[in-house]
Structure 1
């Protein structure tokens, strides 16, 4: 099991410190985006959908970079994370509109959408809201640990 340690920074960046099961470590800058860090959104989406995306790949030893070679599953997760973030920033929409936006986003990026239904959308939203409340309550310099 790997550990993801998210630390709330004082400025425009938070940090993710990854401690992999094999003991290797990696630090990732997480620019602030008004909601939880982007990689926390990945964490929730990947766990709920049960698909392999950025966080799973980093957990399994891939170096975190913008140059990671995409694959169908990871690309589908990335598009879903984009839609989850847009949904959170905009205050949300109904579940059908969320799913439609995901399909449109995938079509625009020539990406096969992953299976998602209204129940998964509601669960993702609830987990984002819960993690957001926890993250918001942390003082600057504090760390939130998530296992994967």
Structure 2
């Protein structure tokens, strides 16, 4: 599956998802001052062997806000949120990030996806690279990723 993130001048960027079978969907990505939320999903889901939003879309679910899966997909959503918060607020020790993630899962009543400190480092590295690439994208240009 190809992900085409397009930087726009307004408050919304675009993500076009090109499915292996040839179908295309475009969704809006509200600007956040960091990389798009779905790009954080890409960083997390491409490192971990756990299912989240992009995995659901790859399996044929519609790419829309509120696409829901099961317990494992919810666990990945919490992890994406924790990494996204770190992008906004600054890096914390890996142990603190994992503890925050575990607390968020517990508060929502679902399981925790296994994540090691090495995984945290790999995801952070991927997020840094995506952030660098996204900041170099001009308005109305794109960043293409394979998932």
Same fold by TM (over 0.5)?
yes
Equivalents in 1 of 2:53, 2:118: separation in Å? 23
* CA-atom RMSD in angstroms: 0.9
Unmatched tracts of structure 2, length 5 or more:
none
Matched, 1:87 2:86: yes
Task: Figure out how many residues of one structure are paired with residues of the other and give that number.
Answer: 147
Equivalent positions of 1:47-66 (< 5 A) are: 47-66=46-65
Task: Check conservation: 2:15, 2:27, Cα contact below 8 A.
Answer: yes
Task: Check conservation: 1:18, 1:59, Cα contact below 8 A.
Answer: no
Matched, 1:40 2:39: yes
Task: Check conservation: 2:56, 2:69, Cα contact below 8 A.
Answer: no
- Given the two structures, how large is their TM-score scaled by the length of structure 1? 0.96
Q: CA deviation at 1:70?
A: 2.7
Which residue of structure 2 aligns with residue 31 of structure 1? 30
- Given the two structures, how large is their TM-score scaled by the length of structure 2? 0.96
Moved over 4 A (4+): none
1:57-99 alpha-carbon deviations (Å, 9 max, x no partner): 1122110223323301100100000000011111110011001
Matched, 1:6 2:5: yes
Q: CA deviation at 1:111?
A: 1.4
SS at match of 1:113: coil
SS at match of 1:70: coil
Q: CA deviation at 1:18?
A: 0.6
Unmatched tracts of structure 1, length 5 or more:
none
SS at match of 1:57: helix
